[in-house]
Structure formats: structure tokens, C-alpha cells
Structure 1
Amino acid sequence: MTAKRYAGIHNELQGGMTPTANIIRDAWVFGLIPEEETCEGWTVQGIDDLYDKVSAAWAPYGHLASNLPSELRERHARIYEAAVTRARATGWDPDRLEED
């Protein structure tokens, strides 16, 4: 049986505005993987392992961006602002999610 593979953050539906994509973006913020890594082709187990590392990295900050030190907070803002811009350009509309 073949393991299910992740499509990659830039190939996701909803412009990459999903929980899995958030794990990847947070991994970029904390330097757990390079920002060029899209995780395309990763197995579910690989994503789960990354989630565990991301969760551990967030723990000292109470899982709140506002508690991050300035360098990480600035990186977080840059990465997430770019993600929202990219998602909107591909048709993602957060208001539509509230209507569904």
C-alpha cells in the first residue's frame, strides 16, 4: 500500500489557508525547515512529526504570536501577511468561510 503524500503548501486548495499549511508556516517562523521547503511529497507521518516540533517551539510563548520575541514576531507577520496576500490572489475569501 502506498503512503498518502502531501500536495505541498503552494498546491493546496483555499490558497493554502489550512491547518496543515499553518504548521508549515510556523515551522518556517521557528526555522525548523527553510522557507523554500513546501513539504510537497511528505507523508502524513512527516507532517505529524513537524507538527510536534512546531508545537514544542510554540510552547514557551503560550502559542501566541504576541508573546514571540521581536525577531520571531516580525518573521511571523511577514510570512502570514504574504500567505494571506497569496491566498486572496488565488480566490480565497475568509468571509465566505463564515457563510458556509
Structure 2
Amino acid sequence: MANMITVDSEEFRELIGWADRIEQNIAEAIKRMRPTIADEHYMNSEQLADKLHITTRTLQKLRDERTIPFTSVCGKFLYPESGIYEVLRKNYRDFKTWKRR
């Protein structure tokens, strides 16, 4: 006869709880995923505006001025994560040591 594993109802509820938490964590991770094209992660306008704490109108102005890198696919704007970080890095100023002119 095959070995039988017995689980009492409290252990079963605990296992179900673990499974539910794992399922929730996976669902949250999927929501945070960004599209990847040619090993580059992209953000859409809403995601980038939220991350930079700016409006989508300000984002449009940055696009118009060619301040930030972007691409347009079927009328949707996508922003390469590495390009955005590079713009931020190049324009970073430490305001603790920065003096007004």
C-alpha cells in the first residue's frame, strides 16, 4: 500500500493560505511588469509620469523638446528605462552643494 500523507484541517487551511498569498504575489508581480523589446524595458506615459511625479502634459512637453528618449508604436508612446535613467544621471545636481549664481 502506498504511503498516505495525512493533513489535519488546520494544516490544510494553512497550506491554502500560503497558496493564496503566492497567487496574490504573482498577480502583483505581473501587474508591475513592463514590456521588453530587444532586452530593453519600456514604460508607457502613465507609468513614467507617475514615476517622475509629473503630469502627462509635462511628459508631452519633454517629448516635444526631445529632452527624453521615446518611441511610438501604434500611437502609444514608450520610453526606454535605460534611456530615462541616463537622462536623469546626466542632469543630476546635488543641491546640498549646488550654489545659486
Relative to the length of structure 2, the TM-score reads: 0.32
Which structure has the bigger radius of gyration? 2
* Structure (1 or 2) with the greater strand fraction: 2
Higher RCO by CA contacts (8 Å cutoff, separation 6 or greater):
1
Q: Which has the higher helix share?
A: 1
| TM-score where L is the length of structure 1 | 0.32
